Amino acid sequence: MNKYKKVIHIIADLGNGGAERQLVELLKLNPTHKLLVLKNTGVYKKELEKFNISYTELNIKNNLEVLFYFHKIGKIIKSSNTKIVHAWMYNACLLVSLIKVFYNKKFKLVWGIRCSNMQLKYYSLTLRCVILSCKFLSFLANSIIYNSHAGLKYHSSLGFSKRFSKVIYNGIDEKKFCFSNIKRNKLRKTLSIKRDSIVIVCAGRVDPMKNHLNLLSAFEIVRKQNKRVILLLIGKGTENLKAQKGVIALGMKINIEHYYSIGDIIILPSKFGEGFSNVLAEGMLSKLFPVATKVGDSKYIISDIGLIIKDSSSKSIAKSLKSAIDINKKKLECLKIKSQERVKKKFSIKKMSFSYNNIYREL
């Protein structure tokens, strides 16, 4: 399938999240596509320039300021000479839909929705209003692309248009996310982690959906029975969590792929909201044994290789972690290899890019 060349992608900003990473990976395989970032390109600026990806950043400071850029964004879309506009996540989906209505634009509109069952009580009134507005305007989208079947099911139940809804799983770069014994030994030494320690990795920003508090309570239970166990937290805000024995909190790391090699187990303890968890698949590709709550499409990602946690309570998380730690060493190594092979086979970047280009051509 030939690549479809004329697409402009629009996103609020390029923070170090899963959706942002997927967009950058898609752009790297489709360098003729253009990018409009409402805020800034953040940690991906150098990478975009390295791959000669054409981008515009508006450096908008807040949501209200978007109103003053409304006409300008419409002009940028027009001057891009593209037939397809791909909006990523709620804010961009709403904005581009309104531009399509007010300026009577003829472009084909693709929405990218990345989450599943959001529990909005934890979030701002603004976000609730944005999602509600998206629900009523979803009929304007020529295609709504979800990264999980859980996301498609949830948004359909909210009343989002079901026309031309598709699921495209995330793609993970096997060259970037791979196990390295050299990095493992070097970083364990740097972080004063013993060679025989069992390291559980949890990667994710501090957010109600990520369930850090229950994970920390669960780890305390596990740690009492096994002092060799270490919990490694990576993600924005983790450095501010209450310190406890056996927990190493690194905060946000741009080169997160290096740190997976330290671990033995990848844990996804999320309560809700996950669609396709990048970190779960990245950890598996880096040869970690997966343990996850039944959130989003995590059960499909890990298949019968890892462990699905009964619920997001600290007791259930602790029980599953104990089971993972007790697996025979030889059997665990075999499962780690199977884990790696599954992601290579099912969730490659090329497969993801092929699927997107297929939809662009259909439109």
pLDDT tens, residue by residue, 85-129 = 999 999 999 999 999 998 877 899 999 999 999 998 999 999 999
> What is d(CA 177, CA 334) in angstroms, rounded to the nearest whole number?
19
> What is d(CA 136, CA 119) in angstroms, rounded to the nearest whole number?
19
List the chain domain ranges.
7-171+348-362, 181-346
Tokens of 319: 């029980």
Give the H or E element holding residue 7: strand 7-11
User: Can you list the alpha helix ranges (DSSP code H) found in the chain?
Assistant: 18-29, 45-50, 66-79, 89-102, 125-137, 149-158, 181-190, 212-225, 256-260, 278-285, 298-302, 314-325, 329-346, 349-362
- Is-contact 85 94, C-beta < 8 A? no
Q: Which CATH superfamily is domain 181-346 in?
A: Glycogen Phosphorylase B; (3.40.50.2000)
pLDDT attached to residue 3: 74
Segments of the chain with pLDDT less than 50: 1
pLDDT attached to residue 2: 65
Q: Which CATH superfamily is domain 7-171+348-362 in?
A: Glycogen Phosphorylase B; (3.40.50.2000)
> What is d(CA 36, CA 77) in angstroms, rounded to the nearest whole number?
9
- Greatest alpha-carbon span in the chain: 64
* Cβ-Cβ contacts under 8 Å for 75 (sequence gap 6 or more): none
Q: At what angle do helices 89-102 and 125-137 cross, to 10 degrees?
A: 50
Identical topology for domains 7-171+348-362 and 181-346: yes
Q: What DSSP character marks residue 163? A: T
